[in-house]
Structure 1
Amino acid sequence: MKDLDVIGIGNLNYDIIMLVDHFPEFHEKVNAEKAFFGLGGAAGNTITWLAHMGLRTGFIGAVGNDEMGEAHLRYFKSIGVDTGGIKIVDAPSGIAVVIIHGEDKRIVKYPGANEKREINFDYLRKARHIHLSSNPERIIVEAVNFASENGITVSLDIGEARIPAGVEEKIDYLLMNEDEYRRKFGSLDPRLCKAKNLIITLNGGGALIRTADGEVEEIRGLSAKVVDSTGAGDAFDAGVVYGSLRGWSLRDSAKLGMLLAYLTVQKVGARSAVIPLRDIVETSRRLNLDLPFSRNP
């Protein structure tokens, strides 16, 4: 039996999020209507959800020898995330500054310590599943090939990055949004992608999925007033990973992802909406999502 259900690989950032009534012009200063300060980083957000849902989790990343780095380690330990794969390096911890006006969002990132993360393959061997988000091409290639060679399933939220040559068909769950998919493949045809399972989140809600058997289905989204979309994709990823590790269908896993994203966009901050599994189950039943939570892992 593996020591960990899932290990995340990616950035660990300190998020500074501000909601404004308009973006500043040249040399203009504006006051934020609301502000949020907290821990973030895409893969870190996904692992946070999964830890709260009862999975045995770990992380590979890097933080600085500073207060923000200490905060990341302290928080992960408090929710049961194994921090054995996180390096403390001689560089400032990563920072993300987000300015939001309505549905428009501007982001400035300082990667800092994140650029010094390295894969510890002995540590990675402990996992049943690896989740990658916001990683350089070298890390993606190393992790996907290692997973393929060692019988470990892998999910990749590729974002704006290029899919490295030679790994696409080895990816068990490839996640991206509609715009990212169109830019990479030229259309929304899910048959153009060679990943085993494909999940495309659609503009305006919902998702298009294509299973390893070639079945294609569109999943309807949940309607919510969007306050802040930061971390919504990471929450969606958590639903897909959780469902896949519990033996759910890709359809049900994507529906759980929809639910977690739905909860996330209604609050400011990537992790503000994170709740325990029992509350997720209760919310899913209230919304009549018919998810198979009673099934044994």
Structure 2
Amino acid sequence: MRLDVICMGNLNYDITFILERFPEFHEKVNAKEVYTGLGGSAGNTATWLSLLGLKVGFIGSVGNDDFGRLHLEFFKKIGVDTRGIKVVDEPTGVAVMMVIGEDKRIVKYPGANRFKEVREDYLKLARHLHLSSNPLSLVEKAVTLAKNLGLTVSFDPGEMEVPKNIEEKVDILMMNEDEFKRKYGDLKNITKVKSRIAIATLNGGGALVRDQNGKVYEVRGLSAKAVDTTGGGDSFNAGFIYGFLNGWDVVSSAKLGMLLAYLTVQKVGARSAVIPLEEVKKKANELNLDLPFNSS
């Protein structure tokens, strides 16, 4: 089966507490709400891409436990190919989040995620590879293999450093504003990033995008009161990748990413807001985003 996109990254079971305040030392507080569900940055992006109608595969690793089975069952239900996911005798990754508006504290246990593997025969099935945060050696191997096979590559490194040899090979380098500033300083330095396209998603909604010709665009227009920002960047990534693979310009692609992020942060949980393509089109029309879906 041919694939449009393979996503590679962690698969976690998320536990999200919505709080009025964070606990002090040795203090217990009650959460206002709790959300439990499937997460992991690349997994969230893969979920949106599949619901948008693309053929999606995944490279990852889960434990031989209930959480691991939930991941595999969910992906199969929404049509994500799971042949690149290993099942190992380690606990599936877990992430615990404490959230107050846009303030978020996270504790993670990687578990089975440490055992994912990149296979050339699997990468050959796709035309695009999307990477989230992974061990550097694995990122280097995946990017090199993908480029040798003729795939385009997007990379959301999160807190990872991005070596110049990776930066130069990547077609789309995407990160949030805070991560960008930690790595590159001022946002105006987006013109110096060596990837073909560079993106910094902006606090409060929207994005700064530098295209392959060096032109910089600021895309704004949707701003939501954030209930939970978990998965907002992953949703943006899915929207931009969808536009990119359908030949849209960078502004239209970023607008779709902004829309998906806008929907995501208004609900608790990274995947709670995921809706099919036809509903996304309706939302875009309601918000007058003028996206070129008919040309896709």
Instruction: State TM-score, norm by structure 1.
Output: 0.97
Higher mean alpha-carbon deviation, 85-94 vs 163-172, is at: 163-172
Letter in 1 for 2:290: D
CA RMSD of aligned residues (A): 1.0
Structure 1 CA distance, aligned partners of 2:267 and 2:185? 34
Counterpart residue number, 1:224: 224
Counterpart residue number, 2:95: 96
Unaligned stretches of 5+ residues in structure 2: none
1:176-196 CA deviation, whole Å, 9 max, x = no partner?
A: 112212221222221110000
1:213-250 CA deviation, whole Å, 9 max, x = no partner?
A: 11111111412111000000000000011001111011
Counterpart residue number, 2:23: 24
Counterpart residue number, 1:106: 105
Higher mean alpha-carbon deviation, 43-52 vs 213-222, is at: 213-222
Letter in 1 for 2:24: E
Correspondence 1:67-78 to 2 at 5 A: 67-78=66-77
Question: Structure 1 residue runs of 4+, over 6 Å off?
Answer: none
Structure 1 CA distance, aligned partners of 2:244 and 2:219? 16
Structure 1 CA distance, aligned partners of 2:190 and 2:253? 18
Percent of pairs identical after alignment?
60
1:261 paired to 2:261: yes
Structure 2 CA distance, aligned partners of 1:206 and 1:34? 27
Query: 1:137–1:224: structure 2 CA closer, same or farther, 3 Å change rule?
Result: same
SS of corresponding position for 2:20: coil
Structure 2 CA distance, aligned partners of 1:217 and 1:202? 12
Contact 2:7 2:58 in 1 (8 A): yes
Instruction: State TM-score, norm by structure 2.
Output: 0.98
SS of corresponding position for 1:212: coil
Counterpart residue number, 2:192: 192
1:112-142 CA deviation, whole Å, 9 max, x = no partner?
A: 0001111111111111100000211111111
1:129-164 CA deviation, whole Å, 9 max, x = no partner?
A: 000002111111111111211110010001110002
Contact 2:17 2:34 in 1 (8 A): yes
1:60 paired to 2:66: no
Aligned length: 295
Letter in 2 for 1:26: F
Counterpart residue number, 1:174: 173
Letter in 1 for 2:45: T
Contact 2:154 2:172 in 1 (8 A): yes
Q: Per-residue deviation at 1:104?
A: 1.3
SS of corresponding position for 1:8: strand
Letter in 2 for 1:46: T
